[in-house]
Amino acid sequence: MSQNVLEVRNLRKEFKGTAAVKDVSFDLPQGEILGLLGANGAGKTTTIHMLLGLITPTKGTIRLFGKDPERHRVEVLKRMNFASAYQFLPYNLRVHENLHVFAEIYNVKNPKQRIDEVLELFELTHLRKSSTGMLSAGEQTRLNLCKALLNEPELLLLDEPTASLDPDQADKVRKIILQCQRETGMTVLNTSHNMIDVHELCHRILFMQHGSIIAEGTAREILEKYSSNTLEEVFITIARSPALSLAESTEPNGAPATQERVQV
Amino acid sequence: MNFRVVKALILKYGYICSRNTFRALDIFFWPVMDLLVWGFVSVYMMKSTNALPALVTFLIAAAILWNVMFRAQQVVSVSFLDDVWSRNLLNIWAAPIRPIEYVGAAYIMGLAQAVIVLVLVGGLAIPFYSFNIFSLGVGFAFLFVNLLMMGWSMGLLVTGFILRWGPPAEALAWAVPFIVQPVSAVFYPISVLPPWLQPVAYAVPAAHVFEGMRQLIQHGQIAPVHIWCAVGLNLLYMFFSACMFKFCFEQARRRGFLAKYAA
């Protein structure tokens, strides 16, 4: 059995008394690509930000590589990386300068060679000396992914990595992530609204709604459970389900409602 | 502390400054304008009144040294704002960077810009006004170091406020030095201030530095009380600003501001 790279137990985050993430628990074994799905506001990004130490959990525990990230922050962050479609690298730096800065921060051995490798991987070599601000949205997204793979992370956190990519580029990015995962055994946690991403990339899926995980399993298992042909249908069913929304609401005393998690 | 991380952050800031014309203005244009304006004001005062010759040097030295503190403060605050403006904040704080490395890099950048500004305007003052601030010797080094420390403290405090209160607090990055300027006794002695305001000035390290500057120019030495007060207050404020930054950073993490401002 694979060792867990990530263990999350009863993770909860409240902002001014409103729960954004409610008692979320899951494990992420080494080498697995886990998809975190859910509508806007489901709590996916808040969960990722808590894993990165950008947001302090209200309750619950996180273990990264068997360690408490609060006490071993730098140690665990060195072994991880992160890319989001909504984060950018400084626009007035050239592409290779941005990557050089992060290669130094992540203590990459032989940074020049590694920068060349990741640029080639994402077909950005010709833009090496371009100003980052001059790149298209898709190119910037791929540059973020270059940054995220610089240190050959053992755990890669992706927040909607293909959000601004055309279908061709999104397909290429998925193939690169899969290739890297197969070659290095990297573990990936991927949030996405793109069901093709999830279907093609993820070994296992967690569906989140209103801050809780409401379904968990492989794509095939989830499709069977919801008697659907596509994950998109499942997504829409869950997002529009008043019963689930109701189940997610808090009890009159303010305590979170008990909620059944569909294990498929 | 990992010096490779510190070097990387300095490199990033260096790249940003070298690509931005307005940053060059901050370093090369505004300090020179300050020097020219205050220099000509003091020359005018000399010619039109019977002002003491020392007054000219007081004003020119004050204009030069004020820029040291101003630059040190601004660089610390603006290097953080750069990451907010370029939406790079999460990339930075999700990276293996210790707060001490981040702050250390900002301090070194503040020191570098303060030295550049000092060499530039101090050098220009020699041909323009026949005033050589570097001839003040060891006492001058004391003035420089203490203003640098105060600039660092203010810069870190402002960064903490921006973390805690977000974009509305950004203006503080430019406003804070001018908020403390009246009680810093930059261009006039503390004794000029109303009695009720003088205790406030005595609690400001810069006020002791500028009092010391006037003593150094006029008598060739600084009263020990100003030396000890400036050093003591600066150490106190550096500790306080570090605690405030840590507190604001933890508040930002707890309330999700770090992620919110970065979006």
Q: Give the tens place of pLDDT for each residue, B119-161.
A: 999 999 999 888 899 998 899 999 999 999 999 999 999 999 9
Q: What is the pLDDT of residue A251?
A: 38
* Residue of chain A with shortest Cα separation from B1: A74
Residue A6: is its pLDDT beyond 90?
Answer: yes
pTM assigned to the model: 0.87
Closest residue in B to A76 (Cα–Cα): B96
A191 touches chain B (CB under 8 A): no
Residue A173 has pLDDT above 90, yes or no: no
Give me the residues of B, 79-138, that contact A with CB < 8 A: 82-83, 86-88, 90-91, 93-98
**Whether the predicted pLDDT of A249 surpasses 70:** no
> Is B118 exposed, middle or buried, given 0-12, 13-18 or 19+ CB atoms closer than 10 A?
buried
Average pLDDT, integer, range B201-228: 94
- Please give the interface size between A and B, counted as residue pairs whose CB atoms are below 8 Å apart: 109
Percentage of residues of chain B with pLDDT beyond 70: 98
Distance (Å, rounded) from C-alpha B7 to C-alpha B44?
46
Concatenate the DSSP letters of all residues of B166-209 into one string.
Answer: -GGGTTHHHHHHHHHGGGTTSSS-GGGS-TTTHHHHHT-HHHHH
Is the pLDDT confidence value at B261 over 80? no
- The pLDDT score that the predictor gives to residue A262 is 55
Residue A151: closest C-alpha in chain B: B95
Helix axes B138-165, B53-85, angle to 10 degrees: 30
Task: Please state, for a pLDDT cut of 90, what percent of chain B lies above it.
Answer: 65
Choose the closest CB to B96 out of A20, A78, A92.
Answer: A78
Name the residue with tokens 């609060």.
Answer: A70
Contact A104/B8, CB-based, under 8 Å?
yes
| Alpha helices per DSSP H over chain B | 3-18, 21-24, 30-48, 53-85, 89-93, 99-129, 138-165, 172-180, 198-202, 205-219, 224-255, 257-262
CA distance A243 to chain B (A): 29
Nearest to B5 among A84, A105, A144 (CB): A105
In chain B, the residue whose alpha carbon lies closest to the alpha carbon of A49 is B259
Beta bridge partner(s), residue A8: A26, A62
pLDDT at site A263: 54
Give me the pLDDT at residue B192, please: 94
Best mutation target, B1, B86, B255, to test chain A (most A CBs within 10 A): B86
Asked if A82's CB is within 8 angstroms of B94's CB, the reply is: yes
Q: What is the largest CA-CA distance in chain B?
A: 61
Look over chain A and give the mean of its residue pLDDT values, rounded to a whole number: 87
For residue A40, CA distances in Å to A51, A208, B256 come to: 19, 10, 17
Rounded mean pLDDT of A233-241? 80
Min Cα separation A15/chain B (Å): 6
Question: What is the distance between the alpha carbons of residues B177 and B207, in angstroms, rounded to a whole number?
Answer: 13
Integer Cα distance of A235 and A219 in angstroms:
12
Q: Average pLDDT, stretch B231-253?
A: 95
Strands A18-29 and A4-15 come out as antiparallel
Local confidence band at A254 (pLDDT 50, 70, 90 cut-offs): very low
Chain A residues 130-159 within an 8 A CB cutoff of chain B: 131, 144, 147
> Sign of the C-alpha dihedral, residues B94, B91, A190, A108?
negative
Ranked by mean pLDDT, which of B53-62, B211-220, B253-262 comes out on top? B211-220
Each residue of A45-95: pLDDT tens digit?
999 999 999 999 999 999 999 999 999 999 999 999 999 888 889 988 999
Instruction: Provide the b/e sequence for A80-104 (b: ≥16 CB within 10 Å).
Output: bbbbbbebbbbbbbbbbbbbbbbbb
Q: What DSSP character marks residue A64? A: E
Instruction: Compute the distance between CA of residue A16 and CA of residue A10 in angstroms, rounded to an integer.
Output: 19
Question: Chain-wide mean pLDDT for chain B?
Answer: 91
In this model, does residue A253 exceed pLDDT 60? no
* Contact call for B97 and A105, based on CB within 8 A: yes
Cα gap A207→A236, rounded to integer Å: 11
Which among A55, A106, A144 is the nearest to B96, CB-wise? A106
Residue range A180-222, pLDDT digits in tens: 899 999 999 999 888 888 888 899 999 998 899 988 998 888 8
Integer Cα distance of B165 and B47 in angstroms: 49
In angstroms, the CA A78 to CA B96 distance is 5
Residues on chain B touching A78 (C-beta within 8 angstroms): 96
What share of chain A in percent tops pLDDT 70? 91
Query: Would you state the pLDDT for residue A243?
Result: 47
Select from A73, A84, A92 the Cβ nearest to the Cβ of B20: A92
- Please give the average per-residue pLDDT across A130-159, as a whole number: 93
A246 lies within 8 A of chain B by CB: no
By Cβ distance, the residue of B4, B88, B253 closest to A89 is B88
Handedness of CA A249, A255, A258, A259 (dihedral sign): positive
Which among B11, B19, B258 has CB closest to A92? B19
| Gap between the Cα atoms of A196 and A219, Å rounded | 11
Least confident interval from A183-187, A223-227, B95-99 = A223-227
User: Cβ of B262 under 8 Å from any chain A Cβ?
Assistant: yes
Pair B253, B262: CB distance under 8 Å: no
Indicate the residue of A45, A56, A74 with minimum beta-carbon distance to B96: A74
Which of the two residues, A192 and B196, has the higher pLDDT score? Answer: B196
Q: Parallel, antiparallel, or unpaired for β A187-192 and A155-159?
A: parallel
Mean pLDDT of B108-118: 94
Work out the pLDDT band at B209, boundaries 50, 70, 90: very high
Backbone angles phi, psi at A261, to 5 degrees: -100, 125
